[in-house]
Amino acid sequence: MTYHPPAAAPAYTATGDLATAPATGIMENITTWLSPASLEWNEWELRGMARAGIDVVMPDYWNNGLPGTNESSQAALAALVSARQSLVTKVSTEADARDPGTPHPPETYGQRLVPRIAMFFDTTTMRNLWMWNRSMTVYNDSAHASEFANGPFADLNDSYWQNEFWKCIKRFYSLVNGTDLFTWNGSGVVWLYGGDHFADVGTTVLQYCKDRFLATFGLPLLFAGHSDWIKAGIDAVCDWGACYSPKYPAVKGIPTAAISPGFYNIGALSVQTPRYIPRDAERYMTEWRRAMDLGAVWIHLETWNELHEGTGACWTQEHGFHWIDETREATSAFHARREYSPLLALNTVEFYFFTSGLAAIIAVFMLASRNQKTGKKKET
């Protein structure tokens, strides 16, 4: 992979500071520390997001319901929710220890500090579900490589596929609710990856899901994502690919931008063409300022910890807290400029797990195994 996380789980003092510097070196128990179901790993990354001023973590969600292949996605999401609930209380207790004269109740202080959760719908998984329905083969193999790569894929005009699409959203929000759930003006949010994993996105699938979401969870639902979902009636448009160049608000809907520290995909050359976009703090801050000047209400950080593509803003052995603190400078300016309230502004980042991806200042947190993804990242 391109960059490296701590080699072992960090420890914290009673006031929430690191007891020692994060461990460097080769990680020998990757299956225990770096696991999508590890509460310690989830807590570490959520603490980093809180330090960076991120409002929302968006897990890169992969569970399409296939037995024996996607349960880890659901287990990882459950671990993220548990880690968030625990951390809300921890950070409040730590604040009490730092400042015993001022109360820091979890229901206000902790809930405000720790990012809430929204869904990043990795639509690649619907290609795998379509493949299973046609050939009983889940992933790309030599016998079905052309069909997997070229489709024609699921048609979202079809009521069957509309319902399968909805079921992915329902699985996610069956675990994410209450105070863990991010809402904007009272609405839930689903962020969509590319529409190119379907024969046709149609014009009715998003409204179908909105109706089902309201009936099931009692809330309206908003959709954000690629411009190839405009036909389907998306509410906020922001193409992937800020790691190549920033994305600024340019279309109708909720004004949305995307920013990235850089790109160095040496860890993903099996599915991508080599590319290097150097990290530059001055460029990074300039892009943040321009997004704010253009009126962005949501800003998507691409990514939080997709380390094998070199886009992460999280703590790494190579950069330490540098990109977290650069991001905090930008998010503080963003929140101040918008007279920040969680109901008025949103930020996003991609969060990456090595064997799984919890892919949101929205942060994306990957839940699915990256080696299950065979498509190249779209350059937009």
Per residue in 29-81, pLDDT tens?
Answer: 777 888 888 999 999 999 999 999 999 999 889 899 987 767 788 889 999 99
**Looking at 133-147, 204-218, 287-301, which range is the least confident one?**
133-147
Per residue in 119-128, pLDDT tens?
Answer: 999 999 999 8
| Residue 300 pLDDT exceeds 70 | yes
The Cα–Cα gap between 145 and 5 comes to 34
Check residue 343 and give its pLDDT.
40
Domain-embedded: residue 5 = no
Domain tally for the chain?
A: 1
Between 135 and 255, name the one with better pLDDT: 255
Check residue 166 and give its pLDDT.
98
Q: Where are the beta strands (DSSP E) in 74-218?
A: 116-117, 119-121, 154-155, 188-192, 198-200
**pTM to 2 decimal places:** 0.89
The Cα–Cα gap between 214 and 35 comes to 33
> Which residues share a beta bridge with 192?
121, 225
Which pair of structure tokens corresponds to residue 136? 């009983």
Q: Give me the CATH number covering residue 240.
A: 3.20.20
The Cα–Cα gap between 273 and 289 comes to 30
Give the β-pairing of 263-264 and 276-277: antiparallel
Domain-embedded: residue 58 = yes
Per residue in 206-225, pLDDT tens?
Answer: 999 999 999 999 999 999 99
Confidence of residue 354 (pLDDT cuts 50, 70, 90): very low
Domain-embedded: residue 365 = yes
Confidence of residue 1 (pLDDT cuts 50, 70, 90): low
Domain-embedded: residue 7 = no
Domain-embedded: residue 201 = yes
The candidate with the shortest Cα–Cα distance to 372, out of 208, 202, 132, is 132
Domain-embedded: residue 32 = no
| Residue 339 pLDDT exceeds 60 | no
Domain-embedded: residue 268 = yes
Determine contact, residues 5/307, Cβ cutoff 8 Å.
yes
Confidence of residue 353 (pLDDT cuts 50, 70, 90): very low
| Residue 249 pLDDT exceeds 80 | yes
Check residue 27 and give its pLDDT.
79
The candidate with the shortest Cα–Cα distance to 92, out of 112, 106, 113, 111, is 106
User: Residue 170's domain spans which residues?
Assistant: 39-372
| Residue 362 pLDDT exceeds 90 | no
Domain-embedded: residue 110 = yes
Give percent of the chain above pLDDT 90.
67
User: To the nearest whole number, what is the mean pLDDT of the chain?
Assistant: 86
Angle CA 338–335–279, to nearest 5: 120
